[in-house]
Every structure is written in C-alpha cells, then in structure tokens.
Amino acid sequence: MANFTVDGSDGGHPAGGAAADSREALDAFDALERRIWSGRAAAYAASFARLCAHPVPALLDAAAVGPGRAVLDVGTGTGTAAAAACARGARVTAVDAEPSMLAEARRNAPQAELHAATLPELPFPDESFDAVVGNFVINHVGRPDAAVAELSRVLRPGGRIALTVWANPAAPGQSLLGRAVEAAAAPRPAHLPPAPAALQAVATPEGLAGLLADAGLRDPDCRTLRWNHRTTTEEWWSGPAGRVAFIGELLHHQTPEVRARIEAEFGRLAEEFRDPEGGLALPHAALLVSARRG
C-alpha cells in the first residue's frame, strides 16, 4: 500500500515516466475533490487550517503582495491568505469552489471580494490582477497545467504568481495519519484512486518550477519550506474524524472496527512526536514556487 498523505498524494512515488491519465480519470478526480470537500469548512477550520496557514506570509512575499496591489487568492478556503493580503493593504479578490469555504472566508476576510469559481476556469477578464496566489490548491486540481495557464491569463504583464503544494516525499508529520492507516491494514476504497500522474510530478521542486515555465511564466523559483506544526492528538485526529480531506474520506469508508484500529495506531505513532509540553510537534514540508508574467 502506498504511503498516502493527508491530501491524498502518494508519498514517495513521483510519476516520472508514468502514462498520462485519461480525460475520464481526470474528470473523476475533480468530481471526487468536490465531493470530499463539500460541507467540510468548519471541520477543516478546527483541524488542518492552522497547518495550511503557516506558509501564507512567505507566499504573499513571493507574489510581492502589498498596498494597492490587485490580488487574486485562488482556492481561498477559509480565507487565511485573503485576510493576510487585505491586512497588507492589497485589493483582494478571492475564489473557491466550495460554498461552505466561501462562508468561512466571508467571516475571516470581510474586505475581500469573493466569488464561487472552480479551476481551471475563472470568471475574470485577461490581465485583471497584479498578483495571483494559491495556497495548497494546485494539488486539488486534476489538470494543474490548465489551472496554471488560467492563472497566467488573468495576471498582468510584470505581475507575480506564487503557489504552494505539499512536498513529495512527505515529511514525517504529514505522513503520520497515513502511517496509522497502513499500520491498521486498512484497505483503500476503490473510489479513492491515486492522485493523477501530473499532480504527483509537480510535488517536486523540478516538476513544480517546470509547470510554471511550461505556462510561459518567467524566472520560476522553487524553494522548500520546513516547519514543526504544533498541535494536540485531539486536534489532529479531529481532521479525519470530521471527514476532512482525502484521509477523512478514507477513514469514513472503513468499518467501525477498522476505524478503531486506525485511531489506536495513530495514538501509538503520535508518541514519536510528543513535545515536552505534552502536545505534538509534527515536521512538515511544502514547496513554494513563484514566477512573473513577461
């Protein structure tokens, strides 16, 4: 069984040389993503949202987000990046495909202009924004090349784009829940296939920088962000227990007996990351890529 991670990527298995996914498989992946995240905003906000917020300052810096800049935050989720960009004095537009996420974003980023939209299609004219940011969104789109081409389309010449994805192979903290699933010998439901080959490929610095270069963006630069996410066993388990992300969908489709085994294995493995205060310090790694439109 692959060492799958919280967001559903198969850690340690880049897709170099793999055959291209069929159109039907990519459509199915996008539809699955919509189902997985439907109505999950509150549970996400209570579990994994703080983790995903960590790269936001570096993300905004990489996109040169500052006062007066017209900024698009794509896949805004609960609005963390949008709110941070507003605090810098930017004029922020944010989009998300999930209504419950947009409701959370309206509370967290009331100054932002919010729209429902699903990559790779955006409801904006060409060259609408000075900067485009996407925090852990490309890894939820079956056609990352089409998504980046669309982000480039709405970016003005000279404008900057910055994106984050989880690194592959996954850092130990990110793979904790997946290890618990494997230790419990939990089967992978048939409706949860591996991530498309294109997504697995862009989880490396070379693949992610190449994705932007292939879209015609200039001077792509990719670096790895590493940090220890401090949480508790209760908060971290509340993510899958609340059916959040790929790992939550996987847990939801197990029998009660298997779910209990996974939780027990999670508790055992989590002790590896116990800090002196009794919480967890989970090592994570993400890729941050940025480029400019010529």
Q: Which pTM does this prediction carry?
A: 0.93
Q: What token pair was written down for 115?
A: 């729209």
Q: How far is CA 285 from the centre of its chain?
A: 12
3-class secondary structure, 8:
coil
Domains and CATH numbers, the chain: 3-292 (3.40.50.150)
Segments in the chain below pLDDT 50: 1-4, 8-18
Cβ burial of 210 (10 Å; 0-12, 13-18, 19+) is middle
Quick one: residue 127, left, alpha or beta (phi over 0 = left, psi -120 to 50 = alpha)? left
User: pLDDT tens across 175-206, in order?
Assistant: 999 999 999 999 999 999 888 998 888 999 99
Q: What's the confidence (pLDDT) of residue 195?
A: 87
Q: Is the peptide bond before 205 cis (omega within 30 degrees of 0)?
A: no
User: pLDDT tens across 103-157, in order?
Assistant: 999 999 999 999 999 999 999 999 999 999 999 999 999 999 999 999 999 999 9
Q: What's the confidence (pLDDT) of residue 7?
A: 56
